[in-house]
Copies of this chain bind each other. A is one copy, B any other.
Amino acid sequence: MAFSSELLQKAVDQFSTLPGIGKKSALRMALFILKQPKENVELFASSLVNLSRNVQHCSECNMISDSPVCPICSDRRRNRGIICVVESIRDVLSIENTQTYNGLYHVLGGIISPMDGVGPSDLPIAELEKRIEGGEVKEVVLALSTSMEGETTSYFIYNRLKKYDIKITAIARGVAFGDDLEYTDELTLAKSIENRQPFNI
């Protein structure tokens, strides 16, 4: 599509670099920007630049944070005896959203994936060990995905941590709420039968 304005063209090109945004949505966004008061657009632009320039990673758990130690790690009400290992920032947000977990996190920022050139040494596993060696940690919960890469990473971390006197657990796999048994894959269904729980209301 040819535009009558280079400025519009550039904004559309930029919007279409965003994940899940095609040319049509990008145009819609650029035209939306065009209708906004200049101050709002400047606020938008500066929020992106600020995020990119000023955000830090927590020196303990690797979560993004505005300060050297993130609000979760510096919250004294949280259970410091349990660390949940996740792949990404987004996983932390999802787990926090459930409001059922009160421990700390360790964000790997990736998983072992030879295809993408990510090996064990690229992940902050030594940092996780150092946290365990601090002596406060009683349990590590592995909450990685069930993809081949996720399982490999879980297994690798398990092997590295089994020398410590701590409990190593993994999040439960099973049939999700609202899912039909009929459409659940065999592996998940088998796991959910194997790990059946006492019934309670």
A residues apposed to B, CB below 8 Å: 1-8, 10-11, 13-14, 17-20, 25, 27-34, 36, 38, 41-55, 58, 63-66, 70-72, 88-90, 92-93, 96-97
A–B Cβ pairs within 8 angstroms, 5 of them: A4-B70, A7-B51, A31-B90, A33-B48, A44-B48
Of the candidates B10, B28, B54, the one whose C-beta lies within 8 Å of that of A51 is B10
Give Cα A41–Cα B42 distance, bound, in whole angstroms.
Answer: 14
Q: Given A28-B19, A28-B20, A43-B14, are A4 and B36 neighbors across the interface (CB < 8 Å)? A: no
A8 touches B52 (CB 8 A): no
A42, chain B: closest CB distance, angstroms: 6
Give Cα A28–Cα B88 distance, bound, in whole angstroms.
Answer: 12
Q: Given A4-B65, A7-B50, are A32 and B14 neighbors across the interface (CB < 8 Å)? A: no
A36: nearest chain-B partner, CB-CB:
B52
B27 touches A90 (CB 8 A): yes
Q: Quickly give the copy total for this chain.
A: 2
Chain B CB within 10 Å, residue with most, of A10, A45, A93? A45
Give Cα A90–Cα B20 distance, bound, in whole angstroms.
Answer: 21
Chain B CB within 10 Å, residue with most, of A7, A8, A54, A63? A7
Q: Given A65-B4, A71-B4, A89-B31, are A38 and B11 neighbors across the interface (CB < 8 Å)? A: no
A92: nearest chain-B partner, CB-CB:
B4
B29 touches A51 (CB 8 A): no
A100, chain B: closest CB distance, angstroms: 14
Q: Given A45-B45, A48-B44, A51-B10, are A5 and B93 neighbors across the interface (CB < 8 Å)? A: no
B27 touches A18 (CB 8 A): no
* Chain B positions within 8 Å of A65 at CB level: 4-5
A111, chain B: closest CB distance, angstroms: 15
A57, chain B: closest CB distance, angstroms: 10
* Chain B positions within 8 Å of A27 at CB level: 90, 93
Give Cα A52–Cα B37 distance, bound, in whole angstroms.
Answer: 8
